[in-house]
Amino acid sequence: MDFELSEEARAIQDTARSFAAERLAPHAAQWDEDKIFPVDAMRAGAAIGFGAIYAREDVGGSALSRLDAALIFEELAAADTSTAAYISIHNMATWMIDRFGGEALRRRFVPRLATMEHFASYCLTEPGSGSDAASLKTRAVRDGDHYVLNGSKAFISGGGVSDVYVCMVRTGADGPKGISTLVVEKGTPGLSFGKQEKKLGWNTQPTAMVIFEDARVPVANRVGAEGDGFAIAMKGLDGGRLNIAACSLGAARACLDAAREHMKVRRQFGRTLAEFQALQFRVADMATELEAARLMVQRAATLLDAEHADATLHCAMAKRFATDAGFAICDEALQLFGGYGYLKDYPIERYLRDTRVHRILEGTNEIMRLIIARKLLGA
């Protein structure tokens, strides 16, 4: 068992860290304040391979591993968690087309997603089906060479801005076997969007409802066979959960680093905060939780790369643990900063806001516990 990263993995990590420091970190606070979707910065990331990290090379992908992706998203999120999280969702949707789409579909969509000339969104959640995703109601009725879509998707990152929407829709009976996956292009007649949601965090990525009213989508835009959509969505979420977990690692690491530096210079009662044993122990616990979470994420990524039978179990474990730990570390760092941590002059409050939703999306952490329990107990 080797816990050391390969030379290639370290090079990828260094590249992501340099990019994040140069193109994301200097602007993250202003993007958050002004709710700017940083198109140019993301396309600059795509130019060095971050637009289709684990898509195949023949359509412009980087063909990297899930472990490589975890390293990249930790580095990006340490600079700008919100933007990193959107890039992770774009990558998940892009991979689904590349992995399960036919050759014509792959070659039509993935090259422009890889460069981020086009942006992608993942559309599973609906107003009435969140954790119970298999109960989704958006229906696609076959009409010759097209499907006619009616329904809506909720809380869609990139909603109204993305060019490509990878949508899970009902083409058959109730339950998971009646769900298929369709790629819906922006500009499709009958496709519209709700108002931009006002959110606690994730302000650099737009979020809106996606609405279908007799929207006609070519059958050629189907990803996989009819009835395979739920399984495809779940496969996408295995990797998506690791990516979001890695984003929590990055935010937590940034907050821990900031808290350590603050404790070395902030003085109370004639001593620096770093000299108080009670606070030393809190930092020790933060660092330990972060390292444990990172090991879980990297192990799960390795199992996913190997297509191991227990990959889904470990992805759920890693997502549950890392997102809970990540938010807790950000919160603890804010406490160590005291009143200063509550001010927007310092980045802690932004990381706290941006990581809170990680415990909800890509499957709530309660659903992660359900997945884990079912795997362990055969329920």
Active-site residue numbers? 362
> How many Cα neighbours within 13 Å face the side chain of 5?
17
Q: Report which of 152, 148, 222 is spatially closest to residue 180, judged by C-alpha positions.
A: 222
| DSSP letter, residue 129 | B
| Residue 99, SS3 per DSSP | helix
Residue type (1 letter), 216: R
Q: Report which of 321, 328, 294, 319 is spatially closest to residue 244, judged by C-alpha positions.
A: 319
Distance separating alpha carbons of residues 16 and 21, to the nearest angstrom: 9
The DSSP string of 24-85 is: ITTTHHHHHHHT---HHHHHHHHHTT-SSTTS-GGGT-----HHHHHHHHHHHHHH-HHHHH
Chain centroid, CA 147 distance in Å: 29
Distance separating alpha carbons of residues 276 and 281, to the nearest angstrom: 9
